[in-house]
Amino acid sequence: MNIFKLNGLPSTSNPYLFNGDFVDRGSFSIECIFTLFSFKLLYPDHFFMSRGNHESVTMNQMYGFEGEVRSKYTSQMGDLFTEVYNWLPLCHCLNNKVLVMHGGLFSEDSVSLDDIRKTQRNRQPPEEGIMCELLWSDPMPGTGRAVSKRGVGLQFGADITKKFLDFNNLDYIIRSHEVKDAGYEVAHAGLCITVFSAPNYCDTMGNKGAFITLRGDTMEPKYVVYAAVEHPPVKPMAYASSPLLRLFS
């Protein structure tokens, strides 16, 4: 709601793209996801949603969304959310210049936009391959590839980003997936931008949140940074499956 206050409500003249992890990020996932789905229904051609790694059954069981749905509705409602999540796009290509995904890039240099289009997304995320890496991978300093600190996906360096962009004739990528103190981070010589829109993550991190605005004629990113606003008095991650997850997810 604070993003809409700062940037205006979605409309045909004010389109939005939300970049995954709509749930599991606090104790109001139901309210967040219903708001987003409502705008998708209202403006199907001007409101877009990319799937994140938390739009999955396993993560929802661990980090609280399943418990929140059971508490506020029923287990059957949880199954319906899973069905919808399986159809969320894995990424979006903006004006044939910018690729937006939740996680990051790939273990192979030859992945094309057509390969991504052909990827079967109506399923739970696998532990390897294009779908997995779009949802889970992270950029790293330096070059090359490395094992992911998350245990899923991979870490990719600036040379990997450059090769992918050149191979697909793109300008840069935008991704999310990682808390950033300033709400965003520009890496890989400006070719890889991370944007994280949840300020004071889990009420503990003290980070700013951010979103990016883009004009279609230039696609030059402009950053809006903001602090957390007050929410109703419910503890963060109140529905997570263990105290450790509530503290450290």
Virtual torsion, Cα 189, 194, 195, 196, nearest 10 deg: -140
Q: Is 54 a catalytic residue?
A: yes
Strand order in the sheet with 184-187: 91-94, 98-101, 172-175, 192-195, 184-187
Q: Burial of 192 by CB count in 10 Å (0-12 exposed, 13-18 middle, 19+ buried)?
A: buried
| Residues identified as active-site | 54
